[in-house]
A and B are shown apart, each in its own frame.
Chain A
């Protein structure tokens, strides 16, 4: 299995709703990531998990709450979002490289969840 699977593919939620995005991989990757991509823009890093521990939080608002329950799963819990949070949310995974970058061969991305906040 060489894929990263994201569900749902599309999500519409109100500003008072609570929802979750799910990401799953079975490639044995121990690093997983959430990126946010606005239209016509490059992806922007939100969170990095290494060995199921949060290692990077790019100053993301607390209305986004990541969770890594095991080495294959990554969730993003959403609460009280704003319309400007509407975007494509991309999950990715990779090997965990050594500090000098050896062994890092790039990410495998999922196809994303298109989120619309109304």
Chain B
């Protein structure tokens, strides 16, 4: 079975400084990986996805992530944080076994952005 581990449950940054949210994955084959964001009392929005086409993936709102097979990592970054980035972020892996396709979520990272 595939899994993801989000290394930080909370990250706090100042507005205008870089954001780094860390994610490591475990997979027996080439995974499909995603980052989703959830604002308070909202559903989940897809930020970006890695599906083996390119290791550096650009997403919405200035976020990007780099797939590093040697490190089994898929960290999310943004050069300059904005107050509106404050939310819960989930690293997610796809599993296509078992007769269907399902996403397995990491435990989430709460991003706080301070003035």
Contacts and interface: CB of A to CB of B under 8 A. Distances in A.
Interface string B33-46: 01010000111111
Interface residues of A, number: 32
A64 B70 CA distance: 42
A56 B46 contact: no
B115 to A, nearest CB: 25
Nearest to B104: A45
A33 B90 CA distance: 18
Interface string A86-99: 00001010101101
B88 to A, nearest CB: 9
A55 B44 contact: no
Which of B42, B100, B106 has most chain A Cβ within 10 Å? B100
Interface stretch (A13-21, A65-73, A74-82, A108-116): A108-116
B80 interface: no
B101 interface: yes
B106 A42 contact: yes
B77 interface: no
Contacts of A42: 90, 105-108
Contacts of A114: 41
Contacts of A43: 44, 90, 105
Contact of B42 (A45, A99, A105, A111): A111
Interface of B: 32, 34, 36, 41-46, 49, 51, 90, 94, 96, 98-108
Interface of A: 4, 6, 31, 33, 41-45, 48, 50, 55-56, 90, 92, 94, 96-97, 99-102, 104-112, 114
Given A45-B103, A48-B102, A106-B49, 10 more contacts: A33-B102, A41-B108, A48-B100, A56-B99, A56-B102, A90-B43, A97-B96, A101-B96, A104-B101, A106-B34
